[in-house]
Amino acid sequence: MLDIKAVRQDPEAVARALSKRGFVFDVEQFTTLDARRKQADVESQKLLAERKAASKQIGALIGQGMRVDDAKAQVNETLEKIASQIDALTGEAKQVQSQLEALLLAVPNIPADEVPEGASEDDNQEVSRWGEPRQLEFEVKDHVALGEALGEMDFETAGKITGSRFNVMYGDLARMHRALIQFMLNQHTGEHGYSEIYVPYIVNSDSLRGTGQLPKFEEDLFKLEGEQGYYLIPTAEVPVTNVGRDRIFDAQELGEEGVKFACHTPCFRSEAGSYGRDTRGIIRQHQFEKVELVQFVLPDQSDGALEALTGHAEKILQLLDLPYRKVILCGGDMGFSARKTYDLEVWLPAQNTYREISSCSNFGDYQARRMQARWRNPDTGKPELLHTLNGSGLAVGRTLVAIMENYQQADGSITVPAVLQPYMGGTEVLGA
């Protein structure tokens, strides 16, 4: 959530900044609501002063010769009128405040200055490339054809069990999928300084509101039936980031690099806004696995932390020897809560293009304000908002796709990347 004080100070500047996203901030609605709230506060203070003065009138009325009971009755009548007016103003103030909060909850984060202009993924800007796409001297197969030929990727059975956009894997492919998770977690915890964390796969609405999925993106979520208001997680970002909700970290706890968590979870997405996209294979599924990286850092560290976190995700691709490119997202393609995002796009031979495999974002204090994730500044002794970051390190299914397609051989077998072989009992080739 944006800082309401900053919005009040210059709502027109906020509107201009948000226009980079293609988002229209209703300045008139905000200023009208805020003026109503301010007026209600002024009138309430005035009535409180009147109540205080009226309470002192009993003695004065008695001094003027009025009977005690009559004086009390007159003052009580006045106090009742004032109380009724205060109650009405309090109700109006609560209503206006609720409208203000609803308005701000629907407003995305302001992009960083260096975020490029643009309306869609076509306007994202390439930052760098790593590796050279392999030249395959045979007819390239996509991961679906490869997996089905191995007899280890089964969409028909998944459709019978559940429906479309699900998958069943068997044997070595299922084993490689598991190996990738273990490899990623070991790399991030052993080499990149993250602490592993295990979290619930079901969250409440407060958690989703804290990270920005609610109220705007409820249609993309799987909501559970029942009175609890529970949802399946769309990503580990939600439960892990909410570890910091309503919490004040000590400076010592944050250390020099902040608090860093690595977490593996399944992810569940309705994908309401992606109808007809990537219907073949496991690029876009309702259930998939991810290793998520989440950081809580001091405000002056978050820009550097984003570069480091993105580098941690890149290292996984480099160790797997998968060619990729890094792009900075334009304003129109960034996630709702992000102020700056890098996407890593891995090379897929069957599509002859790069496809997203990781998204790494700095949220500034946007999520922290919604969650009240803070740290205690030792210089002032006062709590201040932290900055939050997260990124995929990596999306496991898409990594599996990239390995299958990039490491395929003419006979349909798949070479196992060297770094994964120890996790697969020394297996070097699938389908040999």
Q: Is residue 73 part of a domain?
A: yes
Assess whether pLDDT exceeds 70 at residue 276.
Answer: no
Which listed residue (302, 337, 358, 359) is catalytic?
A: 359
Residues 225 and 82 in one domain: no
Q: Which of 269, 339, 369, 370 is catalytic?
A: 269
DSSP letters for 221-280: S-BPSSSS--EE-SSTHHHHHGGGTTEEE-HHHHTTT-EEEEEEEEEE---GGGTTSS-S
Q: Could you tell me if residue 18 is inside a domain?
A: no
Residues with Cβ within 8 Å of 190's Cβ and at least 6 positions away in sequence, in order, are none
Residues 30 and 60 occupy one common structural domain:
yes
The active-site residue out of 284, 325, 355, 376 is 284
The whole-number pLDDT of residue 82 equals 87
Tell me the two tokens of residue 386: 């932290």
Q: Which of 91-105, 173-187, 290-304 has the lowest mean pLDDT?
A: 91-105
Q: How many other β-carbons are positioned within 10 Å of the β-carbon of residue 307?
A: 11
The answer to whether residue 272 scores a pLDDT higher than 70 is: no
Q: Are residues 32 and 138 in the same domain?
A: no
Does residue 361 belong to any structural domain of this protein?
Answer: yes
Nearest-angstrom CA–CA distance, 402 and 320: 10
Q: Are residues 55 and 88 in the same domain?
A: yes
Pairing label, strands 353-362, 287-297: unpaired
* CATH at 175: 3.30.930.10
Confidence band for 58, pLDDT divided at 50, 70 and 90:
low
- Supply the range of the domain harboring residue 344: 121-430
On whether the CB atoms of residues 394 and 358 are closer than 8 A, the answer is: yes
Give per-residue pLDDT as tens, 187-239. Answer: 999 999 999 999 999 999 999 999 999 999 999 999 999 989 999 999 999 99
> What is the bridge-based pairing of β-strands 195-196 and 259-268?
parallel
Please give the mean pLDDT across all residues of the chain: 94
User: Which tokens sit at 206?
Assistant: 């407060």
Closest C-alpha among 324, 313, 390, 337 to residue 127: 324
**Same-domain status, 95 and 125:** no
Residue 308 is predicted with a pLDDT of 98
Q: Is residue 75 part of a domain?
A: yes
- If asked whether residues 91 and 126 sit together in one domain, one would say no
284 given a catalytic annotation? yes
Query: pLDDT tier at 273 (50, 70, 90 boundaries)?
Result: low
Among candidate residues 55, 356, 384, 413, the one labeled active-site is: 356
Q: For residues 54 and 310, which has the higher predicted lDDT (pLDDT)?
A: 310
112 within some domain? no
| pLDDT range class, residue 54, cuts 50, 70, 90 | confident
What DSSP designation does 350 have? T
31 and 160 both lie in a single domain: no
Does residue 35 sit in the same domain as residue 144? Answer: no
Q: Minimal CA–CA distance to 238: which of 226, 253, 222? A: 222
Per-residue pLDDT reduced to its tens digit, 358-370: 999 999 999 999 9
CA torsion, points 283, 413, 141, 423, in degrees to nearest 10?
20
pLDDT, average across residues 363-391: 98
Classify residue 115: in a domain, yes or no: no
Is residue 122's pLDDT more than 90? Answer: yes
pLDDT score recorded for residue 6? 96
- Once rounded to an integer, what is the mean pLDDT over residues 376-396? 97
Active site residue 165: no
Give the pLDDT confidence of 304-359 residue by residue, as tens digits.
999 999 999 999 999 999 999 999 999 999 999 999 999 999 999 999 999 999 99
Count of the separate structural domains present in the chain: 2
51: annotated active-site residue: no
Note if 374 is an active site residue. no
- CA dihedral (335, 353, 134, 398) in degrees, to 10, reads 40
Catalytic one among 21, 165, 374, 398?
398
Directed axis angle between helix 143-150 and helix 171-190, to 10°? 120
Tokens 């996984």 belong to residue: 316
Task: Indicate whether 101 and 126 sit together in one domain.
Answer: no
Tokens of 235: 């990503």
The position carrying tokens 């297996």 is 427
Active site residue 356: yes
Model confidence, pTM: 0.92
- Give the max Cα distance, the chain: 111
DSSP bridge pairs for 264: 291
pLDDT in the model for residue 324: 98
Q: How many CA atoms lie within 13 A of 252 on its CB side?
A: 0
Q: Is 405 exposed, middle or buried (0-12, 13-18, 19+ CB in 10 A)?
A: buried
Shared domain for 322 and 356, answered yes or no, is yes
The DSSP call for residue 98 is H
Residues 128 and 64 occupy one common structural domain: no
Q: Which of 72, 105, 138 is the last residue of a domain?
A: 105
State the residue for tokens 């069990």.
161
